[in-house]
Chain A
Amino acid sequence: MYNFDYEKPSTVADAVAALGDEDAQALGGGQTLIPTLKQRLASPTTLVSLSGISEMQGITDEGGSITIGGATVHADVASNGAIAALSDLAGNIGDPAVRNRGTIGGSLANNDPSACYPSAALGLGATIVTNTREIAADDYFQGMFSTALDEGEIITAVKVPKPEAANYQKFEQPASRFALVGVFVAKTSGGVRVAVTGASEEGVFRWSEAEAALNGNFSADALEGMAPDADGMIADLHGTSAYRAHLVGVMTRRAVAACS
């Protein structure tokens, strides 16, 4: 990696100030950024660690929803259990080392098209809380590695409403064990939400046809034979676009079945 300066502020305000420098870069758990730096594919002048900010840590249960600090690691979400599907998802990200360093804010800010968390945030209709505003998940994800965040904006917390029922089904890419296809299904007060990660060239998306079918009949049978259009699905060494489209159908049916 190239040389950089390192800052570890203890407040969001100090972090925002530190990120004001051009070419400064926020560092969450570093599970994507550090390997990128080691390969010399990025050269920030300053890394601003968010791990020393106590107000961004931990999970609070507000009854109808939970609020997860942006710097909360996957292992803490996994052991929380207030939303079982979310905890299960977090408990299957990476390996123990990743889960004890990687953070929910870092994952959502990166918006890797194969990451698990984006599907949970979108599937549960979460709200992304930043140092300046609150962004609904539906408005937040804007395509592969692209989000509504402005330069220097920090995810301080994620507010997640508790669903009536929810489940996440992940079909692992054999090498990386990221989601080749991951489907988060949630039955919420506002209706059924189906969020798909890993599959689309546009990143995480809601499968609206499935949601419509499930709003009429929340059962796997309601999705019989359904799959999204293969056009626009990712095609790579690990699966064609047709295979991914097919898997979206399979994983959605399994998630629905597991909800009931």
Chain B
Amino acid sequence: MPKDHGIGASPKRREDVRFLTGEGNYTDDINVNGQAYVHFLRSDVAHGKINGIDTSAAAAMPGVVKIFTGADFEGIGGLPCGWQVTDKHGEPMQEPAHPVLAQGKVRHVGDPIAAVVAESVEQARDAAEAIEVDIEELPAVVDMKAALSEGATKVHDDLTSNLCYDWGFVEEVKPDVDAAFETAAHVTTLELVNQRMVANPMEPRVAIGDYSRGTDEHTLYTTSQNPHVIRLLMGAFVLGIPEHKLRVVAPDVGGGFGTKIFHYAEEAFCTFAAKACNRPVKWTSSRSEAFMSDAHGRDHVTKIELALDADNNFIALRTDTLANMGAYLSTFAPSVPTWLHGTLMAGNYKTPLIHVNVRAVFTNTVPVDAYRGAGRPEATFQLERVVDKAARELGVDPIALRRQNFITEFPYATPVAVEYDTGDYHGTMDALEGLIDRDGFAARRAESEKNGKLRGLGVNCYIEACGIAPSNLVGQLGARAGLYDAATVRVTATGSISVMVGAHSHGQGHETSFPQVVAEMIGIDESQIDIVHGDSSKIPFGMGTYGSRSIAVCGSAMVRATEKIIAKAKKIAAHLLEASDADIELKDGQFSVAGTDKSVAWGDVTLAAYVPHNYPLEDIEPGLEETAFYDPANFTYPSGAYACEVEVDPETGKVTIESFAAADDFGNIINPMIVDGQVHGGIGQGIGQALLENCVYDENGQLMTGSYMDYAMPRADDVPFYAVDHSSQTPCTHNPLGVKGCGEAGAIGSPPSVINAVVDALQSGGHDVTHIDMPASPSRVWAAMNK
């Protein structure tokens, strides 16, 4: 019988009531009295020198409050990068300036040149059209290999080249890795592209800056996954606003997927302009602007090689990747192809020797940063594709080859610097095999062939590293921030509870799942507990939500704070019951003296805390409110095995997904329904990457896929009903809930199985196809069959 409350129950998401009835409060729903509107004049060329900007005609247009250009931001900090990667020679990465508004040059289509603040959006737009910009177009740097060639045009004139860094991991091991390849019985090589993606959250970005002359206080309302990170970056590094004078509010946010982690120019602009104009200033991105100003994701070009011995054991792995940074370094961009990618290259396998090389490259394109999975999908895709290719070359069963090489003993220190605390890869593969009826595949394939279709089955494993930590380690790796989180548990006199959390919920369902934990710990009803998040003036300093970290990191802080609450409440109860605190037991919201029938209720204790008439004032303070910060000892390592079955129409190349199964190990699970939903959404995005989505620039740096007319988002009829299984559970060993995180798994784990299935289908039809790059669109699949 499933639980109906507390940890492990699946109450419906309480936040959906407001989301589904139009009662959500998104940033664009906020209108501040007296607000003006900003329109950004953006570059329509990818690379150019700004010879002059004439705003005089525009400034005289109706409704114009003020026009800003890069000159207004001279002497003001640029957008900072939050992670410094050290290259294989021990040198820091090349780090270009990133001005709020372009200074001297534009470096990608969409780079903001000027900003018009006006009484209405349309007036701002009218005036922006009247700004005369004299731009001398320069050759655009688009292709990464060309960007690194001798004599290539430089995106940043003050850097030595377009190379951000050349990272080797672990560089000292490279000779051993190369030597292993010399002696290998078999080497499988694969060159592939992990294409550029646009996150496309349903809600576009919005920012409203507000400033009070009376108090010298700034407020920024913004669509962010991490308001405190924005407060720190923007306050300290861009605008020099003391943090206590800056409030950042991220109210309801309509999806982030990573792209709302970063600090953007528009946020800094609205905050700056609100003071300069003494007016609240609001910006709402159009979808077209989002395509050319939201950080993009992925965009790796990789060569991976796997060496096996005569018994098909993996003996060495090496990869060489070009990673596109775009025109500037977005907040966490340098960490994605390195520490979030290289450290995952062991996957689920005991490959003893691994070397990862990554060269990060500047191009005249929108900056690239974390997108759901962030480095881990790129690692998983290449590894699981090369393992599948090896199985085909060797003529062995792809599942058997994987099982043979699984890590089976934990903790396991990989050769790429991380230690998996726990896992059971055979367990998730067993669960997967229980979902997919592999024995019936031959019959299903025969049935498809009778209908003129090719059928394929693809399988892959994945390992994920979530809740990136601990802070002292990531600091050594180049992070310029801590990666703890925080929670304050505030109990009222009547026993209800507000939990102020540093994590931000924008689709993850925290408002439902977090109270389940506190309710379980205290033994009261979840309806007595609310989560407060997203407002830096209400919550403790937390690092926000990304990297599947919320329950593992912030949830752990919440547990620690609740433990403090319970410890203090027991002291109060002991006083009320005239017993020793050591004898007090808490169960189902009742404090009782062990071995007696004496008890007081939760509400009696909370009332005593705030009306301390009968209270040990000499020993403990009144009130019941506790804060905890939690800095994890390690990452968490969710893992799983996924399978996809496809049909390919050989006449058109169209791929349809017939079934998709996912067996994940997330450790302990708080709300199974929400976890299923996270996996469903992640797989949807993974299928989108595998079959549909592709952000394309032409050779001049023009964005070819700037709208949904050309950028193919997955729709409901592109995906099947999913079979998911989360029964294989090896709890995390180092956090108090034993949880691992589930937000990115679907997006990490699904693309390889889709492509493995497409290759399987094509080979079954006699086509000599060993790889197909994503998205496996109809035209690409048809071309592969007809090359």
Contacts and interface: CB of A to CB of B under 8 A. Distances in A.
A250 B696 contact: no
Given A171-B652, A250-B651, A239 B710 contact: no
B779 A175 contact: no
A250 B652 contact: yes
B705 interface: yes
Interface string B750-787: 00000000000000000000000001011100110000
B125 A40 contact: yes
B669 to A, nearest CB: 35
Contacts of A180: 778
A99 B288 CA distance: 24
- Determine which residue in B125, B653, B711, B712 has the highest number of CB atoms from chain A within 10 A of its CB, and name it: B712
Contacts of B713: 175
Contacts of A238: 710, 777, 779
Interface string B457-500: 00000000000000000000000000000000000000000000
Interface in A223-260: 237-240, 243, 246-247, 250
A90 B713 CA distance: 23
Given A40-B125, A238-B777, A175 B708 contact: yes
Given A40-B125, A174-B777, A240-B783, A247 B710 contact: no
A242 to B, nearest CB: 8
A189 interface: no
Contacts of A246: 782
Contacts of B652: 171, 247, 250
A176 interface: yes
B704 interface: yes
A175 B782 contact: no
A240 B709 contact: no
- Determine which residue in B288, B704, B709 has the highest number of CB atoms from chain A within 10 A of its CB, and name it: B709
Interface string A35-56: 0000110000000000000000
Contacts of A39: 288
B716 to A, nearest CB: 11
Contacts of B711: 175
A176 B710 contact: yes
Given A239-B779, A240-B779, A243-B783, A176 B288 contact: no
Given A243-B783, A250-B651, A237 B709 contact: no
B692 interface: yes
A240 B129 CA distance: 36
Interface residues of B, number: 26
A254 B778 CA distance: 17
Contacts of B708: 175-176
A246 B781 CA distance: 13
- Determine which residue in A178, A240, A246 has the highest number of CB atoms from chain B within 10 A of its CB, and name it: A246
Q: Is the interface of A mostly helix, strand, loop or mixed?
A: loop
A174 B288 CA distance: 19
A1 B125 CA distance: 9
Interface in B678-704: 691-692, 694, 696, 704
- Determine which residue in A171, A175, A238, A247 has the highest number of CB atoms from chain B within 10 A of its CB, and name it: A175
B710 A175 contact: yes
Q: Is the interface of B mostly helix, strand, loop or mixed?
A: loop
B705 to A, nearest CB: 7
A240 B784 CA distance: 13
A174 B652 CA distance: 13
Interface in B67-86: none
Contacts of B288: 39
B782 A237 contact: no
Nearest to A246: B782
A116 B267 CA distance: 43
A40 B712 CA distance: 24
Contacts, number: 46
Contacts of B782: 243, 246
Contacts of B705: 175, 237
Contacts of A174: 691-692, 712, 775, 777-778
A171 B651 CA distance: 12
B710 A237 contact: yes
A116 B779 CA distance: 20
Nearest to A39: B288
A132 to B, nearest CB: 34
A176 B129 CA distance: 29
A90 to B, nearest CB: 19
A213 B778 CA distance: 28
B198 to A, nearest CB: 12
Interface in A127-181: 171, 174-176, 178, 180
Contacts of A171: 652, 654, 778
Interface in B701-736: 704-705, 708-713
A1 B120 CA distance: 13
A25 to B, nearest CB: 19
A175 B710 CA distance: 5
- Determine which residue in A1, A174, A180, A238 has the highest number of CB atoms from chain B within 10 A of its CB, and name it: A174
Contacts of B125: 40
A243 B787 CA distance: 12
Contact of A243 (B696, B704, B712, B779): B779
A247 to B, nearest CB: 6
Contacts of B783: 240, 243
Contacts of A175: 692, 705, 708-713
Contacts of A250: 651-652
Nearest to B691: A174
Contact of A176 (B122, B654, B691, B709): B709
A239 B652 CA distance: 11
A170 to B, nearest CB: 12
Interface in A93-117: none
Contacts of B709: 175-176, 178
B651 to A, nearest CB: 5
A13 B576 CA distance: 89
A175 B713 CA distance: 7
Interface in A26-42: 39-40
Nearest to A238: B779
A237 B694 CA distance: 10
Interface string A178-207: 101000000000000000000000000000
A237 B692 contact: no
Nearest to B653: A243
A179 B709 CA distance: 12
Interface string B652-693: 111000000000000000000000000000000000000110
A246 B775 CA distance: 21
Nearest to A243: B779
A247 B779 CA distance: 10
Contacts of B694: 237
Given A171-B652, A243-B783, A237 B704 contact: yes
Contacts of A240: 779, 783
Contacts of A1: 122
A13 B216 CA distance: 63
A198 B708 CA distance: 17
Contacts of A176: 708-710
Nearest to A178: B709
B696 A237 contact: yes
Nearest to A114: B709
B665 to A, nearest CB: 34
Contacts of B129: 40
Q: Which 5 A/B pairs are nearest by Cβ-Cβ distance?
A: A175-B712, A174-B712, A239-B779, A176-B709, A250-B651
18 contacts: A171-B654, A171-B778, A174-B692, A175-B692, A175-B705, A175-B710, A175-B711, A176-B709, A176-B710, A237-B694, A237-B704, A237-B710, A239-B778, A239-B779, A240-B779, A243-B779, A243-B783, A250-B651
Given A174-B692, A175-B692, A180-B778, 5 more contacts: A171-B654, A174-B691, A175-B713, A237-B704, A239-B778
